[in-house]
Structure 1
Amino acid sequence: MTVEPLGRRERKNAQTRQALADAALRLFLERSYEQVSVKEIADAVDISVPTVFKHVPDGKEALIFDGGVERRESLLAAVRERPAGMSVMSALREFMSNRGPFLTDPTPEIRRRTELIMNTPDLRDHSRKLWIRCETPLAEAIATELGRDADDLTARAVARYVLEIPQFLSDEADPRAALDAVFDLLEHGLHGTS
């Protein structure tokens, strides 16, 4: 399958969207999310407020996120393209362990961005919405990998539980240890945990 290059308009829109994300993140980190208006972000990119909402219709909280496309695609790839012999749950554990609060040695930039999201209720809620939007495609991918129907209850439950992990565990003192504990529970049940 050949991927067509983006046209001029699509490239320009992507550049504007990236400029908005960069400006919003910089301003949020400098002054806090609550202290920055959409107008200030628009001014930083030299566009109008209506143009901001043309590019980011989900509102101010969506400005530093990619709309969930990368999240969904990489999550599905983790399941579909996992190494031979690796279980679906192991692939999901590995995927989650490389995200935000579960990284063991994040760069300073990733640490600051993650802390901003986790410490800002509106950003945290928006992040959760982006995770939950992945539920149906993830459940279908899990069901396919398990050889079950697309609406299989077990696949849907696993998808729901896994996608709630970032919100559920982000306040833990050691999010990575908590992630491993939850995945141990999901993989082995109560009898398989200490």
Structure 2
Amino acid sequence: MSEETLNLLKVFTPVLLGILTIVGGFVLYGRQKSLDRKNEILQERRQLYRKFVGLAQQLQTHRLTGSEAAAKTDYPKFKIVLAELMVTAPDHVVKPLQELDRNIAALLSKRFGGNPKTDHFGVENSEADLAATVSASFNEAVSEMRLDSFSDSQFSKAFFDQILNASIAVVGARIR
């Protein structure tokens, strides 16, 4: 290489490195902001998931204990969290929530409504059948929420069924 070429390299190398550093910084900053936003959205959904599961369990407890006033107080809260999830959760979480919503409404209506033998929200099942359907759709929803929150979750729907039914059995045994 000639001396003139070496002098040009000495002059432009720091300039090129500076430009590459700035461009690389912008690219990395953009990616980091995108990752931060995705993590923030996931954190918001996790908070909603926890609220939702808690409210659904409370409604189940109110049904088992016959606490109509408490159910009427908590049901609107449940619907608000459900609406927030319909907007923020991915499709695979929303699908079981739609079924769960319809069946919880029918179950509470059947439990606290005037005539337990009539059709409630298009569902003609007995209270026991509705409770089983609610349990199955709840387990499906919780399983999908866990998969959304932790993509490598190893818990099965049967696992959730065991845990949730055990807690319901405890409440049910205490009110008998």
Normalising to structure 1: TM-score of the pair?
A: 0.29
Larger radius of gyration: 2
Q: Which one scores higher on RCO, CA 8 angstroms, separation ≥ 6?
A: 2
- Is the helix fraction higher in 1 or 2? 2
Normalising to structure 2: TM-score of the pair?
A: 0.31
